Structure 1
Amino acid sequence: MKRVAVLYGGISAEREVSLSSGRQVIEALRTAGYDVVPVEVGPDLAAVLAALTPRPDAVFNALHGRFGEDGTIQGVLDWLGIPYTHSGVRASSIAMDKVAAKTVFAAAGLPVARHRIVDVAALEEADPMPRPYVIKPQKEGSSVGVFIMKTGDNRRAEIARSWTFGSTAMTEEYIAGRELTVAVMGDRALAVTEIKAARGFYDYEAKYADGGSRHVIPAAVHPEIAAQAMEVALAAHQALGCVGATRSDFRYDDTEGEPGRLVLLEVNTQPGLTPTSLLPEQAAYCGVDFPALCAWMVEAAQCRA
């Protein structure tokens, strides 16, 4: 029986999401017949290393956010020579850095939004681009620290003064319209889902709270857009050098008619695996239940050492 250590929790702003993902994965892998070793990750790396001794056959990386999704833990596992799920150091670190990822996407000819990196002090003084625009950290996930600045919104200076994500922020043109997402398993894009947030913005609460959003699968969009979203998601996955499963998020502006404009926002190399997450939902739509999805990830685990 294959012995699989599941890393979950972590020390990022997404710890609670990771705990939820990890609990789901542990149960699913046991259902699939694996010998599972749960490893709740905290700030003590030595404790994590001890929990991986004796060495497991594979690690299921259910960590989200910094240190779990940005190439850090991937480098540790490569050093130890342990196969692990999801992408390696390079793809993970680039995908986590929104500016680096957009540079890769643009070079591959994929549609991206205009953006600027600004000093937070300058953001406090003036708008860096015409409204509406989005303010977001350069290296966070799950919509942590994301704000939409529309006409009449007077929060800009307050946001800048309370900013906790470094000395700079990423500002990006706001794309009107709808929220779409496409998951990729290996070399296959699964489906197009439209996300309808209960309160208009697909923020952290909308992503993970019961009733925070509604998912429409397949999305009711123009056939050209559905095909483009599937193609771009797979192309972005490949451009970054990802393996295993990823999820690409899009904005789709059809406010002036169809087919409209599709814009790639980011690629998530560690998609959520919580009860409200999109990857398991799309996999199930394609006939892959959750234990089978998790087992597929384990069997696709790699060591890049």
Structure 2
Amino acid sequence: MMRMFLRRLRVVIPTLFLITLLSFMLRVIIPGGPADALLGGSDNPDTIKMINERYGLDRPVWEQYLSWIGGVLRGDFGISYATGLPVVDVIAPRLASTLEIVGFGMVVSLVLGMAIGMFAAIKRETRVGRFVFAASGLGVSVPVFWISTMCAGIFGAMLGLLPVNGYVPWFSGVSAHLQSITMPVLLIAVPPTAFTIRHVRSAMVAALDSPYVRAARAMGVSSARIHFDLALRNAVGPVITFIPFLASTLVGELVIIDVVFVLPGLGASIVDAVHFRDFAALQAIVLLLAVAVVMLSLIADLVLTAIDPRRRKAVS
């Protein structure tokens, strides 16, 4: 396991370096600057020079990067150009809703995706199995912004079944809190669930058609044991490797979900940072999300190595 961890670090460390470099380059490739945002488009050269000197934007790019990455390693992401507060104080209060919605969305995607995908694989020759497979294709192709807007309008505005405006914290009431996150969690989980269904179905079909499963059937092994003990066990590995992609899909949908349901999450922070050209906050959010996906990928590889004897043998 330690050997696998060290081998993966040789890939993770350069990847993290490239992530920091690309995150920092956001302030270079996005047109405009903090002076434009703070001055409302004023072209007073003295004021622009003063603002650039205040935030260190007059220094060479490589000096700005070294200063920024040094602060990141100390937990200091700089000062928000829009609010004048430390970036940590700006984004920290928004982590709660993001972590909760992404976490619940991942759980829903994995549980429903594995259950429905397994059912579709077992019933692959029936009309129900083919319908589930076709419906999962529809779930992959339907845009999140469209289905979110439609559900918010129908179930929220028209029927009034669930709130669609704002986030209610836990301490304000468990029932109100759960109602405020139910629709965002279910909608953010739609594409990942559809991807998981198709992924699990393909892995299960390959396992069910394998020689060892046919031999088990010939020996009289029960269907339940074949499905759960043999086929599903071999389908778990591909699902574990799929989890980082699942997380990146959920992260990509954050902006849409936060905007549609007026949630105080990191997705809404990205929109605000782009609007106000708050490069410090935007860099920090992009960096945190990218690092989270990379670390999740590392954890998935380690877990897969721990449960798969073939990978342990290959590493050793």
Q: What TM-score, normalized to structure 1?
A: 0.26
Q: What TM-score, normalized to structure 2?
A: 0.26
Q: Computing the radius of gyration over CA atoms, which structure comes out larger, 1 or 2? A: 2
| Greater relative contact order structure (CA < 8 Å, 6+ sep) | 2
Which has a greater percent of helix?
Answer: 2
Which has a greater percent of strand?
Answer: 1
